[in-house]
Amino acid sequence: MLPLVFAMGACQELEQDVLDGVTAEDISKSNNPNLINVLKASAYARIVGSWGGHNSIWSIQEVSSDEMSIPQKGADWEDGGTWLRMHRHTWNASEESFNNSWSYCYSAVGEINNLLVQYPDVPALNAELKVLRALVYLWLIDSFGNVPIIDENSTGASPANNTRAEVFAFIEKSIKDNVNALPKEGGKTTLNYYSAHAILAKLYLNAQVYTGTARWADAEAAADVIINSGKYSLSSNYFSNFSERNGGSTENILTLPYDQNNAGGFNIHQMTLHYSSQATYKLQDQPWNGYASLEEFYNSYDNADARKKSFIAGAQFSADGTRLKDISAEATDPDGQNLTFTPAINMLAPNAFRQAGVRVGKFEFASGAASSLNNDYPLFRLGEIILTKGEAALRQGKTAAALAAVNQVRTRAGMPAYTALTLDELYNERGREMFAEASRRTDAIRFGKFNLPWWEKQASTAVRNIFPIPQNQINANPKLKQNPGY
């Protein structure tokens, strides 16, 4: 009997007898796609994992950028200073969030490799798993740079680092060797031909950062495969891509299918909302009053920009319209006890006001939501791919193509079309479009903005453009070498 796994795309437990009496040879000879779906489900379950939760890979991408911070409110969110260091670019190799992020990625790699070893003669399964592993390595190369390449042929429990260029080549080859074996149809919760090209587009867009050699034309070509396919279109309502029931989005290309009962782990509402906001959304659990956007980033949106509704700002009310109060509000807070999310945060630490900072409202918070949301998290969507094409075109001097691409996204938000475009404007537009989608840190590094000073952060050095190899991993594996500067 083959091991029982769970189908995360459907968020339902499989029948216990699905694989009773089925051998690996039976699967290799079978044309039944349901058998392949059963096998790969355990790998996708690892990908869903903790991506959308606190203190892991999403958190380190966002809090190290100029999009958001976690201010310390007295004893609340002191957390040993880890989120203050993340904001200020003074982190160290022992931060728990780095180890969590590393473990999240390599847990997925391990599950994929186990499946490849167990079922080596199932071509459709092998192709999809190798591209899925490439996606995980895209996160690893972006975050940690010089990481070990571990595949189904690796032996030994203590792998050494590979260079960033070697990891780049591994990702590229894994996709190019297998992309044509992927289906061009299918849902959004598993890989297909087009989501594989989305991974390539992002890889090539950041090639100069990862390897020292720009690949703008390749980034544009990969984006064009998706854009010209006609399979996806910009949703007329930007926020439909992030709603509780966003499975029908015409724009989302690859998503993580969270479900509050069967695939938990996406809890941005808990992470960002004030304690009293429980009454606004009739939440089952009290929020944690943590993540808030930086004032300068919030103010980078024109008031007419539809995407400015990605933030929760101003006076707050319960579901029945009663003005919410925070009876523990600081006596020095000018808003008093009336709960009001203000763009300005009085300080990062140690005594930020409990209600300071606009909150992350891009994803729909359904009334009565549990501690985990039902919203599918978009890893890739057409809006980003169009901006990728625009940036790649602009960097090649193809201004007309760049304008045409970027203006599609801009006008969808109700903003006037650009008549001219600079890299700075494009960077700002990417920020407005991609807020809270774990893109800003990577973009800031590519545009040369990541080491600049911003609110409560001094200028940082290029050493900070990759995170350190987690100290726990180095302690466990003497062959790992720390990234330079740490």
What CA–CA distance (Å, rounded) separates 278 from 368?
9
The answer to whether the beta carbons of residues 278 and 285 sit under 8 Å apart is yes
Task: Provide, rounded to the nearest whole percent, the portion of the chain with pLDDT above 90.
Answer: 90
State how far the Cα of 283 lies from the Cα of 371, in Å rounded to an integer.
8
Q: Is 55 left (phi over 0), alpha (psi -120 to 50) or beta?
A: left
Give 451's Cβ-side CA count (13 Å radius).
10
Residue 318 neighbours by CB distance under 10 Å? 17
Q: Is the pLDDT of residue 224 over 80?
A: yes
Residue 207 Cα distances to 76, 155, 261, angstroms: 40, 29, 39
Predicted confidence at residue 19, as pLDDT, reads 52
What does the pLDDT average to over 176-196?
95
Question: CA-CA distance, 447 to 291, in Å (whole number)?
Answer: 25
What mean pLDDT is reported for the chain? 93
Please write the tens of the pLDDT for every residue from 168-185. Answer: 999 999 999 999 999 999
User: CA 424, CA 440: separation in Å to the nearest integer?
Assistant: 14
Return left, alpha or beta for 408; rule: phi > 0 is left, psi -120 to 50 is alpha, else beta: alpha
Angle subtended at Cα 57 by Cα 295 and Cα 362, rounded to the nearest 5 degrees: 45
- 263: β partners: 259
Q: Give residue limits of the domains in the chain.
A: 183-263+373-447, 267-371
How far, in Å, CA of 391 to CA of 49, rounded?
A: 31
Per-residue pLDDT reduced to its tens digit, 356-395: 999 999 999 999 999 999 999 999 999 999 999 999 999 9
Backbone angle region of 368, left / alpha / beta, with phi > 0 → left and psi within -120 to 50 → alpha = left
DSSP-derived letter for residue 302 is -
- Distance from C-alpha of 472 to C-alpha of 476, rounded to nearest angstrom: 6
Task: Tell me the residue length of the chain.
Answer: 486
State phi, psi for 342 to the nearest 5 degrees. -100, 140
| Amino acid sitting at position 294 | L
> Mind giving me the DSSP string for 306-342?
GGGGGEE-EE-B-TTSPBPB-TT--TT-TTTTB-EEB
Q: What is the CATH number of domain 183-263+373-447?
A: 1.25.40.10
Alpha-carbon span 386 to 315, nearest angstrom: 35
Is the pLDDT reported for residue 15 higher than 80? no
Global pTM exceeds 0.85: yes
